[in-house]
Amino acid sequence: MVCPEISSATAVYEQLLGRPADWRASADGAATAIFQLENTSLELMAPDGEGTVADRLREIISDEGPGLKSLAFGTGDISAAHHKLTRRGLMPGEIADGSSTNAINGETRKWTRFRCADAQTAGVKTFIISPEQALPVADAPSGCVTSLDHIVINTPNPDRALGLYGARLGLDLALDRTREEWKTRFLFFRTGGLTFEVINRLGEDHDPAAPDSIWGLTWTVDDLSAAHARLTEAGFNVSEQR
C-alpha cells in the first residue's frame, strides 16, 4: 500500500488492525512498515528523502492517489516459479536479492523476488517473493485483526481475469457465479489460506483492455463486537454489525 508519509499511515493502521507494526525500515528512498498476520503481510510504503524510488512513489501518489497498488505472492522455489511464469507468458523480470534491517529491533531479513510485466498482469503490479524465513506472527488481543479473509479485485474483463489469476498465476478457482440482483459476476479463487475475489459489474460500459484495480480488503477478527467497539472508540466511521 502506497502512502504519502509513513509515520501517520503506520499509526492509522496500528489502530485499524489493533496491533503494532512488526517491521519498520527505511532505505533507498522508501520507508516501509510491515504488519505480519497469520496468512499474509500488509506492507505500507512511502517516499523517504530523495532518489529514483522516492520520486516514483511521489509520482504514483500524484497521478493515482495513495492506496493499494501491488500484490506479492509467496513461493518456496523462486527459480521454478520464474521458469513456470515465463512459460506462461507473464514476462517476469530478473530474480533479484533483497534485504532489510528492522528499525525496531535491529534484526535483518533477506529474500529473493521478481516482478511480472504489468502489461501481462492487467496493470496490477505483481511480485513473486521467496523470503529466507517468514516473520513470526505476534499474538493479538481479542477484537484485533488476526488474518486477511479476502482481497477484492475489480475487473472490466472477467475472462481475462480467469486466465490471469487461474491459468497463469495458478490460483485455485473455487467459484464462478453471477448474481443478477446485484448486477455482479463474482470469481472466487483460493490461495495461501485466503480468498481472492474478483468482481465485474454487469450492465456497465467496460473497456475490456482497461486495467484491473485492487478494490478492498476484508480482515478476520476473533470477536466482531469487540472489534466494532474498539474501532468506534478509536474514531473510525464504522457501519452497524450485520
**Residue-level pLDDT at 186:** 98
Q: pLDDT tens for residues 140-185?
A: 899 999 999 999 999 999 999 999 999 999 999 999 999 999 899 9
**Residue-level pLDDT at 58:** 97
pLDDT under 50: residue ranges of the chain: none
Alpha-carbon span 127 to 81, nearest angstrom: 11
**Residue-level pLDDT at 32:** 98
Is the whole-model pTM more than 0.85? yes
What are the structural domains of the chain? 6-131 (3.10.180.10), 145-233 (3.10.180.10)
Alpha-carbon span 25 to 33, nearest angstrom: 7
**Residue-level pLDDT at 204:** 86
Q: pLDDT tens for residues 223-242?
A: 999 999 999 999 999 999 98
